Amino acid sequence: MKPFIIALTLYLFVNISSCSTNDAPIVEPPNGETTGDSNTPTMNEQIRIIIGNASFTATLEDNATAKAFKASLPITVNMTEHAGNEKFYYLPTALPTSTVTPGTIFAGDLMLWGNSCLVLFYETFSSPYSYTRIGKIDKPSGLSAAVGDRNITRDIRITSNHININLMKQRIKFIFTSWFIAISLFTINAQDVQTNKNDMENLNLTNEWDKTFPQSDQVKHSKVTFRNRYGITLAADLYMPKNAEGKLPAIAVCGPFGAVKEQASGLYAQTMAERGFLTIAFDPSFTGESGGTPRYVASPDINTEDFCAAVDFLSLRDDVDSERIGIIGICGWGGLAINAAAIDTRIKATVASTMYDMSRCTANGYFDENDNTDARYEMRRQLNAQRTIDARNGSYATAGGVVDPLPQDAPQFVKDYHDYYKTSRGYHSRSLNSNNGWNKTSALSFLNAPILAYSDEIRSAVLLIHGEKAHSRYFSEDAFKKLKGDNKELMIVSGANHTDLYDRTDIIPFDKLESFFKEYLK
């Protein structure tokens, strides 16, 4: 394989779900050896499957599914055990299908169930289900022993030349502490995050100035990438004061929720760079120019990690003082910034501007009007029904961005969002809110994971900024009540609404931000 062809490793810890029947009878092949079925592969291309020290060759089918599968390589997947006869994984992209009902499935069959579930069978059995054949291991003797029993999952490394299945034992039942220990084994060293470019996604970054704000002549701008500990490559705009010397204090900026770095976060980052800070504005995982699939999904855990990964990146730069790093989160990323400050002691100062607590808003509704078990149950029911639809379709339905055209009876805050995201003021072609929005099922994780549970343990400085007339003001006020220490501050901007703090440079208190960071990043 050419050295520039690199695969992205994705460690996916998923709930076990069905890809085939649980109670299909096992059919033993003659003499205990699988000989294959009548559907003999005709495509001469072979792949290799390596499981520990065992090696198997497989021949691909001469069909559109196999060709599309090959074209999707390289990829790394985590295959999950099911039913004592198969390992499966849901591919991020659907493949073309030509399903058949084979009757008997043989050990070594590599199949597609539905349009995205990749299945490797290691036992022979009869099945009433329909599959599309991708290929078949030529000599599957020893395959069952190699893949292990029902308590074993496998990481599979797939390239156009071979498939590597590396051993990764995962107990079905294990104690909470040991889970974290296991996770740490896969955590990527911060140095590798920046320096091992071969492990990063090949992102398609725009070279033109496509921001919703004018470019400053006081700042140098460049594009950078870095990787979070989930293996997702993030894209960012880096802003550096011209004629800067030595190690600078640094700030990472993200938000609003459903925006991209070409909008509010970029404006904040460029403005703070004009005031002497090295800054980055980054796109969160699965959005904008950043990597990750599926697209347009949010996660309280991964998106908090995005902030921490930004700190990784800044900490290792020669032109940054690693002891003087702060973050700014806008709107929904304001809450996530506070969540990051609660876990990352390297963050010395945090600003949350016009913040949302996305977990509270999702679980309780605006102003906590739906804070009851029945309302949350109904939301879960609807979202999980959507999951079934998405699984059947092999794609993720989006919820839609900011409503357009604007209804006459729309609440004022919806009008404010429309005025920003749907007009020349703030529209951007990559912005979720400006276009088709988040995946409908993104809300599920926020229903179950309150992001500010430990905000009272933050010892570093925090500044909350909110507009006097913002519908979301209560999020900052309640978050501030929980914070402890004399280095915490709440600033209410007179007359400002929620979106005024996105881009109104005459309203955003940049002087306050500058003085705050200079005080606590010293």
**Taking residues 267-273, what's their average pLDDT?**
98
Domain that holds residue 174: 30-185
Residue 372 lies in a domain: no
Report whether 327 contacts 351 (CB < 8 A). Answer: yes
Q: Give me the CATH number covering residue 34.
A: 2.40.100.20
For residue 467, the surrounding DSSP H or E stretch is strand 461-467
pLDDT at 166 over 70: no
DSSP state of 390: H
CA distance 518 to 522: 6
Question: Do residues 141 and 51 touch, judged by C-beta distance below 8 A?
Answer: no
> Percent of the chain beyond pLDDT 90?
63
Q: Last residue of a domain, which of 136, 158, 185?
A: 185
Domain edge (last residue) among 134, 162, 185: 185
Strand-pair category, 233-241 with 278-282: antiparallel
pLDDT at 154: 54
Q: What are phi and psi of 94, to 5 degrees?
A: -70, 150
Cα separation, 259 vs 438, in Å, equals 11
pTM value is 0.65
Question: Is there a single domain that holds both residue 175 and residue 292?
Answer: no
User: How many Cβ atoms are within 10 Å of 382's Cβ, its own excluded?
Assistant: 12
pLDDT higher than 60, residue 448: yes
Q: What is the mean pLDDT of residues 179-205?
A: 52
The verdict on residue 379 lying in a domain is no
Q: How confident is the model at residue 127 (pLDDT cuts 50, 70, 90)?
A: confident
- Single residue among 154, 170, 185 that ends a domain in this structure: 185
pLDDT at 44: 63
From CA 16, how far away is CA 82, in angstroms rounded? 7
Q: What residue ranges in 204-348 does DSSP mark as E strands?
A: 219-227, 233-241, 248-254, 278-282, 320-330
Least confident of 165-174, 345-354, 457-466: 165-174
pLDDT value at residue 93 = 78
User: Are 78 and 49 found together in one domain?
Assistant: yes
pLDDT band at 450 (very low <50, low <70, confident <90, very high): very high
Per-residue pLDDT band for 309 (boundaries 50, 70, 90) equals: very high
pLDDT at res. 188: 36
- Is the domain of 159 the same as that of 288? no
Radius of gyration from C-alpha coordinates of the chain: 25
